[in-house]
Amino acid sequence: MKKRISLFFVGALAASTACAEAPMSVDDAGTLGKGGMKIEGVWHRDDELRGGSLALGYGPVENLELGISYAHDRETSVDPDITLEGAAIGAKWVPWQNELGWSLGASLSYARTRVEGEIEHASALVGLATYRFANQQVLHLNAGATHVKVPGDGETLRTWGAGYEFPLAQGLQLTAEIFGEEQSGPDKAVGLRYEILDGLKLSAAIGRGNGRGFGQAGFAWEF
């Protein structure tokens, strides 16, 4: 049980450092503008694993976004509870960006996690593709791999994802996605994202897959 929890947590932390726009897990082929910054906070629950994360993003140059994140989770299905605490760094490079049509790029991230005194590591490489339609709908596609190393074990798993954004009203978007990894079935989620002020967004999502439910709620501020 502990090993499976660890693999999930460090893999998810590494993959999330590229800062997919909440509430989506599937990342977009887009970056902050030069000098742009963002702060994102999320509370999440995945079956009996629950906790929060905080991520910071910065665009040092055009087409490149750097990110750092911290997460603290607790697994409550075992007695005593298992505490997982981790930090990650990542970079997203999208040299081909367009307001309409295809944008293409890739992300690379690394995470280091402490689980009951043991240090675990994960790295993720993901190819990113986004297609923006004239009607403001957006398609996202991801394909990559995550390598997770825990004490006494390690594995590399292929990952994939597809997501879609539908505008519902001014500042309000519906998100839908399906994503997964090798050796497991797909996860499916739907969510809402609402821009309450210029650059400030609130979001929430719920999903199901592999015999369990999950969800999240959070905020993102770009400036």
pLDDT for the residue 105 = 98
pLDDT for the residue 151 = 80
Give burial (CB, 10 Å; 0-12/13-18/19+) of 87. middle
pLDDT for the residue 17 = 57
pTM (2 decimals)? 0.91
What would the pLDDT profile of 102-137 be if each residue is shown by its tens digit?
Answer: 999 999 999 999 887 889 899 999 999 999 999 999
User: 217 pLDDT band (50/70/90 cuts)?
Assistant: very high
Asked if the peptide bond before residue 186 counts as cis, ω within 30 degrees of 0, the response is: no
Residue 220 falls inside a structural domain = no
User: 13 pLDDT band (50/70/90 cuts)?
Assistant: low
Residue 97 falls inside a structural domain = yes
Percent of the chain having pLDDT more than 90?
77
Domain containing 66 — which CATH number?
2.40.160.40
Give burial (CB, 10 Å; 0-12/13-18/19+) of 70. middle
Give the list of residues 6+ apart from residue 48 with CB closer than 8 angstroms, or none. Answer: 75, 76, 77
pLDDT for the residue 106 = 97
pLDDT for the residue 55 = 94
Residue 218 falls inside a structural domain = no
pLDDT for the residue 87 = 94
Whether residue 12 has pLDDT greater than 80: no
- Tell me which amino acid residue 1 is: M
Residue 206 falls inside a structural domain = yes
Residue 201 falls inside a structural domain = yes
Residue 222 falls inside a structural domain = no
pLDDT for the residue 3 = 47
Whether residue 47 has pLDDT greater than 50: yes
Whether residue 152 has pLDDT greater than 70: yes
For 132, the domain range is: 2-213
Residue 116 falls inside a structural domain = yes
User: 157 pLDDT band (50/70/90 cuts)?
Assistant: very high
Whether residue 1 has pLDDT greater than 50: no
What would the pLDDT profile of 58-108 be if each residue is shown by its tens digit?
Answer: 999 999 999 999 999 998 877 778 888 999 999 999 999 999 999 999 999
pLDDT for the residue 115 = 82
pLDDT, averaged across the chain: 91
Give the list of residues 6+ apart from residue 132 with CB closer than 8 angstroms, or none. Answer: 98, 99, 100, 101, 103, 138
State the average pLDDT over residues 171-189: 96
pLDDT for the residue 80 = 79
In the chain, the number of structural domains is 1
pLDDT for the residue 10 = 55
Residue 219 falls inside a structural domain = no
